[in-house]
Chains A and B, each alone.
Chain A
Amino acid sequence: MTLELRNVVKRIGAEVHIHETSVAFESDGFNILLGTTLAGKTSLMQLMAGLQRPTSGEIWFDGRDVTRVSVQKRNVSMVHQQFINYPNFSVFDNIASPLRVGRVGRAEIKRRVGEVAEMLRLSAMLDRKPNELSGGQQQRIALARALVKDADLILLDEPLANLDYKLREELRDELPRLFKDRGCTVVYATTEPTEALLLGGHTATLHEGRITQFGPTAEVYRRPGGLRTARVFSDPPINTARVTKKGNRFTLNDRVGWNAEDQHAGLPDGTYIMGIRPHHVTPHGTGPGKVELEGTVLVTELSGSESIVHFDIDGQTWISQSHGIHPFEIGSVARFSMDIGRSKLFDLDDKLVAA
């Protein structure tokens, strides 16, 4: 069941919240909306659900124009960031509520609620109240309510954001399994690139109300069509720098330069913006990188298994992420190498020219 947005625009007052957007979401796998907090993910989801009407454009679902259909008539479920449950209903009643509104028979309700509760490991708590349970369990109730309706379109708006990071990991592992084989279209909004990569499927990167790219997640990650997409899809933030190409050589500044690799060799001479992700910039000698950089260390962050070093070159901050513990002193001069083959080149309009 395809969810299509055709030339959808959303304006509130003088502000454009969603610029003209056309995209189609399929029901095979997760469709992820990736972007920073005010990028427009929630606005877009509300348009898809029918909670807001687009200022112009159409929304089509399963071959039908649903733009003017009210949200109650669309077969859609939504799960929000805040665990939203009816506080004075038991867990069972909470999960059953969409079925009761739809006037499903009692025996049928019992069966379906039981099934979904089993899937989400809530069977033991069906007669408790939501606020007696932990955050993770409350969110599972909300998920159960969304699933029991067997809707054709399920919208998940950063559902794991308010949970402990470990709990988030566990639930995230379970989500694909829950939605497999249901034949519904799932749209999932998140701010974290790692989450998008782990959930797989297709990703649409959002920036300031525009979808900058849409495609299979791994592809959008590895071949971002533009610098904005690359920035949205990087955590830690991608390193960018201006480089100049002359003949066969690229130069970053008067100290750093390298010969153009095959795929970059054919480009016209000029100025480009190079983007290289932090894990391709490693302390000298530790990784496959060959192009050397020298900078003054600003901060070293050591987690148990990796080191993230912020260093400064000519007033610009670079970030290196590597395996192992590399404790550099603040203020010391350190050497790093870039794996140039993994860098991406963008022209001055932020469009990808070579990956």
Chain B
Amino acid sequence: MAKISLQDLRHSYLADPKGDEDWALKHMNVEWSDGGAYALLGPSGCGKTTLLSIISGLLTPTEGRVLFDGAEVTDIPPDRRNIAQVFQFPVVYDTMKVYDNLAFPLRNRGMAEAELDKKVREIAAMLDLEDTLKKRASGLTADGKQKISLGRGLVRSDVNAILFDEPLTVIDPHLKWILRSKLKELHQRIGTTMIYVTHDQTEALTFADQVVVMHEGTVVQIGTPVDLFERPKHTFVGHFIGSPGMNVLPCTLDGEMPYFDGVPVPIEHPAPGNGGAERLEIGVRPEFVSFADTGIPVEIVRLSDVGRYQIVDVRHGEHVIKLLVPEGAELPSESAHIRFDPAYTRVYADGWIMG
């Protein structure tokens, strides 16, 4: 297990990068503490897989250093960094049995049969693979094969970190659920550093203690799921996390009070002056918007029943605002007023949070 540091990292896939867009990963400094469960979350093309490949050693960064526990590993290949990786689609050695698949990394490192037998059985038990040990790996279902991939990483006790590259992509939705909680359980039992790349916020937020949100090659925010949810530092984070995402509405500042279309929006932590920002916005999540007797006048445009709550689309002028209403709750008639919870309403200047 190790603390992983990325210093002054930048990466481009082009031989001669010129402008900003040529860099797949823009300048960053990130630290991953020992034993943490991290998620790299972002839309397709944001650079998360590139970042993972640099950590695992499959890719050497154009600039910067990678350190494991203070020791530089930037140029060391993957098999000597002591990491394990689980890929998007299951990678198993088809011709071998499940047992031999799990034993493979240990045999390559010269471990004695008796010793590795214990380890293999231990890991197989943890992953519910015991009944399949004698079967050929090619005969298992996708989730079974992914478990084998995972198992190959877990059998090695010297593993510094386990890296997951969107591992649940090919798994059936109703099995995704089981495998996801299994990964969480494993982390809580074993305590190895785990870094999980995904574009699915549910996977990221339920698995990780800390989430690294990426957008177009930059790390936008690192925080706990609660942080990201309640205090997104950038409107992108607010929009990307949460289903539906945060409502972002243009506003003006009069002193410390934000105004949306002439209606005051009280917030708990008033923002300091806007410092000449071009664009001022209010961000508030649908969870924190509610119907009220006074406030912003709106008309109800659409209602979606999602089972445990309902998503209501309301319109004010040309803006559509979403709010959540609990299952079975009564809705006001066509026109109503909404208010934003002051404790969770934030002001953003040019996309970044103020205050």
Residues of chain A touching chain B, judged by Cβ–Cβ distance below 8 Å, are 36-37, 134-135, 164-167, 169, 191-194, 197-198, 200, 218, 221, 235-237, 277, 279, 298-299, 301-305, 308, 310, 321, 325, 330
Do A166 and B181 touch (CB < 8 A)? no
Asked if B230 lies at the interface with its beta carbon under 8 angstroms from chain A, I say yes
Do A301 and B184 touch (CB < 8 A)? yes
Do B206 and A301 touch (CB < 8 A)? yes
Residues of chain B touching chain A, judged by Cβ–Cβ distance below 8 Å, are 43-45, 172-174, 177, 180-181, 184-185, 188, 199-202, 205-207, 225-226, 228-230, 239-245, 285, 287, 304-308, 311, 327
Q: 30 A-B residue contacts at CB 8 Å?
A: A36-B172, A37-B172, A135-B44, A164-B43, A164-B199, A165-B199, A165-B243, A166-B199, A166-B239, A166-B245, A167-B43, A169-B245, A193-B307, A194-B306, A200-B304, A200-B305, A235-B173, A235-B174, A235-B177, A298-B185, A299-B181, A301-B181, A301-B207, A302-B206, A303-B206, A304-B229, A304-B241, A305-B229, A305-B285, A325-B226
When chains A and B are docked, how far (Å) is the Cα of A36 from the Cα of B177?
13
Of all chain A residues, the one with the shortest Cβ separation from B185 is A299
Residues of B within 8 Å of A279, CB to CB, are 307-308, 327
Residues of B within 8 Å of A321, CB to CB, are 308
Residues of B within 8 Å of A301, CB to CB, are 180-181, 184, 206-207
Shortest CB-to-CB span from A130 to chain B, Å, is 15
Residues of A within 8 Å of B184, CB to CB, are 299, 301
Do B181 and A304 touch (CB < 8 A)? no
Do A304 and B230 touch (CB < 8 A)? yes
Q: CB within 8 A of B225: which of A277, A303, A308? A: A303
Shortest CB-to-CB span from B159 to chain A, Å, is 22
Do B225 and A304 touch (CB < 8 A)? yes
Do A197 and B305 touch (CB < 8 A)? yes
Residues of B within 8 Å of A134, CB to CB, are 44-45
A166/B226 contact (C-beta < 8 A), A221-B307, A299-B185, A299-B188 known = no
Most interface-central of A166, A302, A330 (chain B CB within 10 A): A166
Residues of A within 8 Å of B181, CB to CB, are 298-299, 301, 310
When chains A and B are docked, how far (Å) is the Cα of A169 from the Cα of B201?
12
Residues of A within 8 Å of B180, CB to CB, are 301
Known: A302-B226, A304-B225, A308-B206. 13 other contacts (CB 8 A): A37-B172, A164-B43, A221-B305, A221-B307, A279-B327, A298-B181, A302-B205, A303-B206, A303-B225, A304-B226, A304-B228, A325-B226, A330-B185
Shortest CB-to-CB span from B12 to chain A, Å, is 20
Shortest CB-to-CB span from B13 to chain A, Å, is 16
Shortest CB-to-CB span from A156 to chain B, Å, is 17
Q: CB within 8 A of A194: which of B207, B240, B307? A: B307
Residues of B within 8 Å of A298, CB to CB, are 181, 185
Shortest CB-to-CB span from A85 to chain B, Å, is 17
A166/B229 contact (C-beta < 8 A), A36-B172, A192-B173, A197-B304 known = no
Residues of B within 8 Å of A310, CB to CB, are 181
Do A36 and B228 touch (CB < 8 A)? no
Do B304 and A198 touch (CB < 8 A)? yes
Of all chain B residues, the one with the shortest Cβ separation from A193 is B307
Residues of A within 8 Å of B287, CB to CB, are 305
Shortest CB-to-CB span from B348 to chain A, Å, is 18
Q: CB within 8 A of A191: which of B173, B185, B200, B206? A: B173
